[in-house]
Amino acid sequence: MSESPRIIKKYPNRRLYDTANSGYITLADVKQMVLEDLKFRVIDAKSGDDLTRTILLQIILEEEAGGAPMFSEPALANIIRFYGHAAQSFMGSYLEKNVQAFSDIQAKLAEQSKTLTPEMWAQFMNVQNPLMQTLDAIPSIDEFTVQLRDFDVAHEAKHDILFFNLIRAKSPEMPEKQSRKRTFMGKWE
């Protein structure tokens, strides 16, 4: 049976109240809960709305402003461009799966590194360089963005052509000669 998430209430005065410890906590405490992989939910004390994503984004914002940002300005700009774009849900899923895969690999390496001897570390580092070169060959987020935009434009064009052909095929007033054009009012010339 899985453990139910810890409930943290956020009050209008912007303070966070940990119901498990019956005390106020800070964003740093919430960050520590994330690092310890504790399950929690942040709930608005007044409305009952789930604010967990908002608090996590606030922690990311503080970390990014803290001196060693993880995201470059171009990467952030590209992420913003995906909002409202046809590929928004795909991009979210893509990022989530890749971050999870990276975390899984990191956890496995951390577990395996506990038993590595200095000689094994040397072998690992020799393998690491070609691996990094392989990772460098993976398209950047900018290239990925261009590919998705090209796909989106091609998909929309294909959709428009199919829609036009469907309308043309069902139009009873369509003349046999393709050289004739419709006028502004919809009559055939």
Q: How far is CA 136 from the centre of its chain?
A: 21
CA distance 90 to 112: 33
For the chain, give the mean pLDDT: 79
- Looking at the predicted structure, is the pLDDT value of residue 187 above 80? no
Which stretch of 73-77, 143-147, 181-185 has the lowest confidence by average pLDDT?
Answer: 181-185
22: Cα within 13 Å, side-chain hemisphere: 0
pTM to 2 decimal places: 0.59
Residue-wise pLDDT for 13-23, tens only, equals: 889 999 999 99
As a whole number, mean pLDDT of residues 169-177 equals: 53
DSSP string, 58-95: HHHHHHHHTSS-SS-HHHHHHHHHTTTSTTHHHHHHHH
Q: What angle do CA 149, 98, 70 make, to 5 degrees?
A: 85
- Looking at the predicted structure, is the pLDDT value of residue 135 above 50? yes
pLDDT of residue 74: 92
- Looking at the predicted structure, is the pLDDT value of residue 182 above 80? no
pLDDT of residue 35: 94
Kindly list the domain boundaries of the chain, sorted by start residue.
6-65, 73-169
Q: Would you place residue 115 in the very low, low, confident or very high pLDDT band (cuts 50, 70, 90)?
A: confident
pLDDT of residue 6: 95
